[in-house]
Structure 1
Amino acid sequence: MTDLQIQYKGISTYTKSKGISSLVLAHQTEIESVNNIPCFFWGSLTDPYVTAKCWSTIAKVVRSSFGPIPPSLRDPIASAGTEKIRFEGFSSCNGVYVRLDMKPEAIDGDFIATGTTNVDFNDPMLNALNSIQKNEKVTLAVGQQEMQVITSTTKVTEKKVTLPMRWIKGLTCVQLYLADMDLKFEANKIQTIQLFQTLPKGSVKGDFFITKRAGKFTFSTLATADGVRIGGIQRLRLLEGILAIVEKIFVYESADRETCAIVCEFGKMQLLMAFSPDAYRGFSGEGKALEHMTGNLPVEWIHGLNSLLKSNETFDPTLLSIEHDIDFGTMDQLTSNLSSIGLLGYDVTERNHFYRQLPFKTERILSLNPRLKNAKKLIENSDVTIVDKKDGYVEANVKGSGVVHKVIIDHNGYRCTCEWFTAYQGKRGICKHVLALKIAL
């Protein structure tokens, strides 16, 4: 699969003059109207040391890999708007998702425009982040004036990077996992340090669980009723660089106990790190978004929402339904569709969605999933035959490769006789045969 090529007109720069540090993040997007905006935000960081540590953690995540895919340099996605700035990204294997939510108290400046872009985190800038002191004054610009480098020593250079298709697919899935999570544990600073002191050394196999006994948290190989499962526990070492400055952590777990997330609280900002079920399983391949892609979302609706909502704005389906006279059932479907194509993110602490203006065209997302393509091909070839349909029950025959599969959808869920369903039992998304029947219905 070909990655999305991004060409920067300049590079991210970090300069220091008369004791004032300036950080300018180069940006580029497929959306022309956003590309014409020289800068989204310009201002200063109120807590530059903590911010720098969090950015370094994000860079650590996006340069890591825990699966068969080798680590490679990737650039985080930044969203500016509604008095907030968010940075997010994935590990190269797509099994770890990270997001920094910078609250209004973390920044002091002007939002010139609202939007989302992927930014250039280059080596010189990362080295500079590591040198930032607690009392330094740091100016942040998300974007770049006239797409030029603001420094007297560095020439303007073009730089090609890639936005991986796995990231785009991951954005269509990860918020569906986050929306399914509940808070399990809250640990203060001392409890957090004690917990990570029990983190096993080296690369270990098997499941581990975060458990709490007598007010103390620990990692254990023993499953308990209230324990939070973590697959690929070595991935938690990505958090080690911020443990000394974290105020508290919140541990979340999905309803199926397959995925988990840890939210690190710093007062003015929060860093969330979500982990796929296992180190070898990326969020992009789980197929959780497939069930919400059966309906076609009109392009004009997407353009309408882009003009109506700002990046990072809270997405309130009930309020939107009332204000714009949209049926509640239609709004529920719209919310699912927007989530499934990555236009909605999810805040686990606030328990609500937020709108995300993507730096790439939405039609790109709809063509990424091979199961969705194959399901639509089954429909086009008339390979789906409904043999029984009544209240709460549908049975169909769906042609496979030299065999006909039986698909049943009822109040208990769905079932299929294919090898995919037999192997995963729906844990990695629905198979193309169930998806084809859902589309047909």
Structure 2
Amino acid sequence: MSGYLAESTLQDADGGKQLLLESALGATPQGIVDNPSFFRGFAARPDVVANALLAVADVAASRYFDVAFRLSDVLDPVMTASGDRLRCESFSACNGVHARLDLLAAGLDGGEIGFGTTNVDINSPLRSALANVHRNETLHLSVGRDELLISTPAASHVERKVELPDRWVRGFAETPGLAAAMSHLATISGSAVGQFLAALPAAQPGRTVFLLPSGRGLREVTTPKPSTVTLAGTGRVASAKRVARFATHLDIFKHHSGASGWVFRLPGADFTLLLSPAPWRGFSGEGGILESLAVPGADDAGAAVLEFLGWQPVISTAVLQARTGLAAHRITHGLAHLGASGKVGFDLLEGAYFHRELPLDSERTVKDYPRLAAARRIVATGGLTRQDTYWEVPSGVGTYVHKIWEAEGSYQCTCPWWHEHRGSRGPCKHVLAVQLLRLSNASDPEGGAA
């Protein structure tokens, strides 16, 4: 998203300060909009809002692993207005950290929150100004301006496509499913939150530690257990130090893969960090939704679910089942398909999805998943054969063998990708090809069961 009217500013005004966050091209209930306005009012805690915005911007401007990094890699956060809250999100340059600030109704005063999604400009001069915002001064907050230009339907679908980088699109796709599969491990409160961050080894920011909740907060242990959480790369929670002094609670979530979620509850706001399973792993390569995208009819399920989203800040899957009449697994596949184009996120504290609407070309779903596109090409070329206990999948450099143990529901392939990742980053293209063929045969009465 691009096309700001001007740079975002923080200026003195009427005995206080006025923060204007400039919006870019946005998606709203009225269609694609130039520079939409989502909120005009006051921040109940100016210092919390300023530092939390800086924390989100810190993540967008950081790399936590040694990857190629250019100035153009620093992107402006994505802001979603949901009627009762403002959500501001970013990904790190290495794509292994996802940050989200939720400005709740309790933290905003004197204005109505609109509906829609856009980028907001957080530039270097603004960052410097935000660092000097104090609690006891009035802060007027504007997200976007009053003047709006709404595109025609034709322009919205043809001329106004937004070009977010692949890693952001796939990051927005992968994180909802990952977060939805996390379990709540513990809550620490009060001074223990700041003490936890202060105790992390500053000299080894890439170090992975295993943390066990205790009566005094969190303590490091030598080996992972069901009762521990993996903090993969201690430096990847550094941005939270900006808000730690305001935090009343820290909720900790874990995923079996080693990914983790850290939700800092602030006055009138929440700040969430999602960490990938390892410092060198970006969310864009996780592949966790590939199998859902491969299911026939996932796009139709997504279209059915989309009709009932309506910019809701909290989306219950049970309610979606009742309204759409779809089975639970069809809802899951539909949400995965919508997530692939950034249309849903997941709120760990709410335990529910929420609607966001990035103005993206829906056809990018396949283009941004080369493994899925490659698997479809393999199926179209033909030559997959079923042996007694395995499949043979032809490839450009030989024949890979895909073994299936039906009883265990496990998969194995002899290709280099599978040897390296062992299924931890989703299926390889050969496994996907077999799954596509099996699903196609199962849904085709003339094709027979695979």
TM tier, shorter chain?
0.7 to 0.9
1:424 matched to 2:425? The reply is no
- Residue identity in the other structure for 2:180: A
Deviations 1:252-300 (A, max 9, x none): 11023x1111110114211011111222111111211212210366878
Aligned partner of 1:70 in structure 2 is: 69
Aligned partner of 1:156 in structure 2 is: none
Aligned partner of 1:202 in structure 2 is: 203
Alignment of 1:351-430 (within 5 A): 351-387=351-387, 395-409=390-404, 410-412=406-408, 413-430=410-427
Q: In 2, distance between residues paired with 1:300 and 1:94?
A: 29
Give the superposition deviation at 1:97: 0.7
Listed as ranges, the gaps of 5+ residues in structure 1 are 149-160, 389-393
Does the 8 Å contact 1:297/1:337 carry over to 2?
no
Alignment of 1:341-356 (within 5 A): 341-356=341-356
What is the aligned residue count? Answer: 419
> Identity over aligned residues, as a percent?
27
- Residue identity in the other structure for 2:21: L
Give the superposition deviation at 1:305: 5.6
Give the superposition deviation at 1:225: 4.8
TM-score where L is the length of structure 2 = 0.85
1:290 matched to 2:290? The reply is yes
Q: In 1, distance between residues paired with 2:304 and 2:330?
A: 15
Q: In 2, distance between residues paired with 1:228 and 1:302?
A: 33
Q: In 1, distance between residues paired with 2:178 and 2:119?
A: 23
Deviations 1:352-371 (A, max 9, x none): 11122123233223311221
Aligned partner of 1:8 in structure 2 is: 4
TM-score where L is the length of structure 1 = 0.86
Give the superposition deviation at 1:20: 3.6
Structure 1 440/110 Cα, relative in aligned 2: closer, same or farther at 3 Å? Answer: farther
SS in structure 1 opposite 2:203?
coil
Alignment of 1:3-402 (within 5 A): 6-29=2-25, 33-36=31-34, 38-67=36-65, 68-70=67-69, 72=71, 73-111=74-112, 113-146=114-147, 163-203=164-204, 206-213=207-214, 215-256=216-257, 258-295=258-295, 308-387=308-387, 395-402=390-397
Give the superposition deviation at 1:169: 0.9
Give the superposition deviation at 1:308: 4.3
Q: In 2, distance between residues paired with 1:298 and 1:255?
A: 25
Give the superposition deviation at 1:36: 4.6
Q: In 2, distance between residues paired with 1:411 and 1:107?
A: 54
Does the 8 Å contact 1:80/1:111 carry over to 2?
no
Give the superposition deviation at 1:21: 2.2
Give the superposition deviation at 1:215: 3.4
Q: In 2, distance between residues paired with 1:246 and 1:51?
A: 12
Segment drifting more, 319-328 vs 119-128: 319-328
Deviations 1:214-254 (A, max 9, x none): 63423344444522112221222222222222112111110
- Residue identity in the other structure for 2:68: I
Listed as ranges, the gaps of 5+ residues in structure 2 are 150-161, 439-450
Give the superposition deviation at 1:398: 0.9
Segment drifting more, 338-347 vs 429-438: 338-347
- Residue identity in the other structure for 2:414: T
Q: In 2, distance between residues paired with 1:361 and 1:208?
A: 40
Give the superposition deviation at 1:123: 1.6
